[in-house]
Amino acid sequence: MLDKSLLDKLADVMTTRGGALPALKCQPFYDLMSELFTAEEAELAVKLPLVAMTAKQLSQLIDKLDFVQLENTLESMADKGLVLGEKTGVKTTYKMLPLLPGMMEFQFLKGGTGTRDRKIVLLIHEYLKSVNQAFASSAPATGDDASPGKRIITLEALVAHIAVVHSYADVLELIAKTEHIAVGTCLCRHRGEILDRPCVKPKDVCMIFGREAKAAADRGIVRMLSKDEARHVLDRAEEAGLVHQSMYHQGGFVDFLCNCCTCHCGTLRGIKRAPVPSLAAIVRRVIEIDRESCVNCGDCVQRCQMEALKLELVDLRLDESRCIGCGLCMYACPTDALKLVERVNPWDTMPVK
């Protein structure tokens, strides 16, 4: 176990990195960090600036560190998926990764199932439970604090608020315009498999785009894809009924793209459990039903992970407040009666009191 004061400093540093998951000072966090970091790596991590720098630049910024030792430590951390080590020609820059999306995914994008992999999965599982409990216990009430019905904000709901849902066409466009694309193993379904809760849907469909993809591939963490291979991965995810989603970044860029299911993805479960799922994430579109073409077969209903579609008697019904515009239902429609249209104003789906 690393020294507690050092672990507290590490939590403070990770908080400045942002991301979708907070760094809470609790025993499960200490246990996880002590498994991921050596004392030397943790000491260096708390000194790393927010911006990416070369080892030479860092040696000038951080006093009393031997350059060769510094470079070796940074390389070890990059290989372990703790920092992003990006090679450009003969120069390599290093930047600390946030917990999620970032450090946690990097531990499992390889798809390892060894003893240490299982240990890290269990430690992550315990930490996620602690975060969930912390937010549940500190959640505000909807009205009077003394009232019996309190609003519990789980980690899943918290994370879901910064999710962006993408359609198949969105991802095709992203693949077309991105130079570097890589694929790795889904953290959520891999975690479920190690915890003896496997999923029948494919695991090797989570994608990274841009410079992060190349940096991770250079370390053997993920596998680079051609554009044709990337489209094939997307087709497999679409066929399996997986929702394409990323975390929101200012500027609209996508680095990590998850292909998710509600049985294993906490973010997607949080969206589904929200009173109005279409407002629990960034949702740009909604399904529209062509009543003349629809034969009310119901094939689309099971494809909808938000339960937005229902077959009532002989009519297909859509609850627009539950539709997150993923378009997965379109895949199953035999008559092309479903299409995605832009939402005029997502707040219009709010229920009227």
Strands (E), 175-242: 181-184, 206-209, 223-224
Q: Would you state the pLDDT for residue 353?
A: 33
**Which pLDDT does position 81 carry in this prediction?**
93
* Three-state DSSP class for residue 106: helix
65-108 residue pLDDT tens = 788 899 999 999 999 999 999 998 889 999 999 888 889 888 88
- Residue 150 CA, chain-centre distance (Å), reads 28
Spatial separation of the C-alpha atoms in residues 161 and 5, rounded to whole Å: 32
CA 260 – CA 262 distance, rounded (Å): 7
| Alpha carbon distance 166, 79 (integer Å) | 30
Question: How far, in Å, CA of 145 to CA of 142, rounded?
Answer: 8
Alpha-carbon span 30 to 21, nearest angstrom: 15
The answer to whether the CB of 182 falls within 8 A of the CB of 224 is yes
Domain ranges in the chain are: 4-108, 153-273, 283-349
At the second CATH level, the architecture of 283-349 is: 2-Layer Sandwich (3.30)
CB 305 within 8 A of CB 241: yes
d(CA 62, CA 46): 11
Q: Which of 313, 312, 290, 309 is closest to 300 using CA atoms?
A: 309
* Whole-prediction pTM: 0.82
The list of the chain residues with pLDDT below 50 reads: 141-161, 346-353
CB 100 within 8 A of CB 21: yes
Q: Where are the beta strands (DSSP E) in the chain?
A: 53-54, 83-88, 91-96, 163-166, 181-184, 206-209, 223-224, 243-247, 256-260, 285-289, 309-312, 315-318, 338-342
What percentage of the chain reaches a pLDDT higher than 70? Answer: 89
The amino acid sitting at 178 is T
Q: What is the pLDDT of residue 64?
A: 64
Closest CA relative to residue 92, chosen from 55, 49, 126: 55
Topology adopted by domain 4-108: Arc Repressor Mutant, subunit A (1.10.10)
Express each pLDDT in 309-348 by its tens digit: 999 888 999 999 999 999 999 999 999 999 999 987 544 4
- The pLDDT of residue 160 is 40
